Amino acid sequence: MRLNLSAIIEVPGGSVPFQCELDTERLDFPSVRSYPRKPFAEGRVFNEAGILRLEGTLTAEMICVCDRCGEEFESRKEMPLEAVIVEENPEDDPALFTLEGNEIDLDEILSTLFVLDMETKFLCREDCKGLCPTCGRNLNLGPCGCRKSLDPRFAVLEQLLDK
């Protein structure tokens, strides 16, 4: 979605509101299976003393796969949006977004902010115990029947226990 900002570029204090859904094709993460609804963003772009700023919120509902136990779970992400928009970006600063004429590519800005704010690990819960490395049982469902492996430095002592 292209957002025309010509009405506020030369008007300090002016603002342009926006509401849009993000295309999920650009939001591909290995641990995200699907988006039941498209991520939704709303906010405004405003001129603050000659500097264009974007602010708002983005909400996404996702079906994810836990990186520890492999179970699917629902996750909701609500994140604040903040960006600075400039006419030129001579140093290619990744924190700044560039005007294209009098417009911005809102999809590109919102997708970039979403990707940069995404978690690096997806966990079904903070205390997820994961899988048993021996039998593969989900340890969140209870302990497995595997014998705990001892430190190899104690192998000689383990032989004493076997007798």
Q: Please tell me the pTM assigned to this model.
A: 0.79
Q: Please, where are the H alpha helices in 61-154?
A: 106-117
The CA radius of gyration of the chain, in Å to the nearest whole number, is 24
pLDDT digit string, tens, across residues 3-44: 888 788 888 888 899 999 999 888 888 899 999 999 999 999
Say how far residue 96 (Cα) sits from the centre of its chain: 19
> How does DSSP classify residue 9?
T
Query: Strand, helix or coil at 40?
Result: strand
**Mean pLDDT lowest among 1-10, 101-110, 123-132, 152-161:** 152-161
Place of tokens 């902010």: 113
- The residues spanned by each domain of the chain are 2-128
Check residue 1 and give its pLDDT: 83
Check residue 162 and give its pLDDT: 66
Q: Quick check: 62 and 91 in contact, CB under 8 A?
A: no
